[in-house]
Amino acid sequence: RKEVEQDPGPFNVPEGATVAFNCTYSNSASQSFFWYRQDCRKEPKLLMSVYSSGNEDGRFTAQLNRASQYISLLIRDSKLSDSATYLCVVTGTTDSWGKLQFGSGTQVVVTP
């Protein structure tokens, strides 16, 4: 079983609609969680961190469910520019420095 799993998609979303997707992780001791965005053939860039209480950044909302071991990302009022692959990133325990675990990404395609 992979340590971090994501639905690869693609999620085809009409412009202006809402899309949400999850990422599950296997290490219950994981401490930090992030969403990165990666455009086609480009480098990943941090979209947002995921806090225990949930957090929002404009049209993006991230949530953490420790009991079920997943994080989620919701995008409201989707824009064409939101088309990208969204990578879930989970860190291990303090004993595993450098051990960021990347999911393989969820592709989102926003259509006019």
Partner 1 sequence: DGGITQSPKYLFRKEGQNVTLSCEQNLNHDAMYWYRQDPGQGLRLIYYSQIVNDFQKGDIAEGYSVSREKKESFPLTVTSAQKNPTAFYLCASSGSRVFPSEELFFGEGSRLTVL
Question: Which of residues 40 and 67 has its CB atom nearest to partner 1 in the complex?
Answer: 40
Question: Scanning the structure block, which residue is given the tokens 């071991």?
Answer: 69
- Residue 31 CB, shortest distance to partner 1, in Å, is 9
Give whole-number Cα distances, 101 to 23, 32, 33, 61, 96, in Å. Answer: 12, 11, 10, 21, 11
- Residue 70 CB, shortest distance to partner 1, in Å, is 16
Question: Which of residues 8 and 14 has its CB atom nearest to partner 1 in the complex?
Answer: 8
Stretch that binds partner 1, among 12-20, 36-44, 53-61, 64-72 (CB under 8 A): 36-44
DSSP string, 2-66: -SEEE----EEEETT--EEEEEEES-TT---EEEEEE-TTS-EEEEEEE-TT-EEETTEEEEEET
- Residue 52 CB, shortest distance to partner 1, in Å, is 14
Question: Which of residues 8 and 16 has its CB atom nearest to partner 1 in the complex?
Answer: 8
Tell me which residues touch partner 1 (CB under 8 A): 4, 8, 32, 34, 41-46, 49, 87, 91, 94, 97-105
